[in-house]
Amino acid sequence: MICVRALKFLIVLICNLISMRSRIFCVLVFIFFFNIVYSQDVANFRFGTLLSSVKTDRVHERYGYNVGLAGRIGIPGFFIELGAYYQKFTIDEYEKIDFINDNPSYHAVKFNINLGLEYKVFKKGRLRFYSGGNLNYILEIDKNNRKINFDTVNYGLPSYNFGIGTTIYFVTLDFNYEKSITHFYNSDKNSKMDFYTLNLGFVF
């Protein structure tokens, strides 16, 4: 029942934040991942902060947030993890030293698969190391006067990641670094996106 409530919470949150154009796609994909997650050994609800970074001269980092559901299955010491997340972030831009106003927020979903190792530190404490691949799909770009839209940004962003996490009783804490393979802005081939996430969660 807790897993069902967590899925409903994610769907309601996303539907309130994005347009109808993206809702059907998002709900169907989350239902698919829910069916996978619900059959796993461990289901993990996560939420936390997100730092988006694009390595160009005029773009700087900006914090956002993410919330999601992951499931792990495996044997002692080794696991496979599948996850689905909603993300919202903004990217600050500058012309020389002057801040550019009206930077839009981006609404995205991320789907990932990780392979990892898990070590038992004490009776109710475990430490995890993992790595894998991701697909970030931008669902919506907030309205803005700078004409930033799906013609100017790459809405499909494959990436790879490295992460470390711990589980103490039913509480989890995960730090993850994610590096995009493709550029973010269509006009700038050097604008590959980095994500840093710190998530608190619980398992059930």
Report the alpha-carbon distance of residue 61 to residue 28 in Å, rounded: 31
Q: Is the pLDDT of residue 182 over 80?
A: yes
CA 161 to chain CA centroid, Å, is 11
Distances (CA, A) of 157 to 81, 180, 192, 195, 203: 20, 6, 9, 11, 28
> Hey, what CATH topology would domain 2-203 get?
Porin (2.40.160)
Nearest to 151 by CA among 161, 141, 166, 160: 141
pLDDT for the residue numbered 187 = 80
Which pLDDT band holds residue 134 (cuts at 50, 70, 90)? very high
Q: What is the pLDDT of residues 90-111, one digit of tens each?
A: 876 655 555 556 678 899 999 9
**Cβ neighbours around 170 below 10 Å, total:** 11
Sheet with 98-99, strands from edge to edge, namely 59-60, 92-95, 98-99
Q: What is the gyration radius of the CA atoms in the chain, in angstroms?
A: 17
Report the alpha-carbon distance of residue 15 to residue 27 in Å, rounded: 9
pTM over 0.85? The answer is no
Q: Specify the DSSP class assigned to residue 182.
A: E
Domains in the chain: boundaries = 2-203
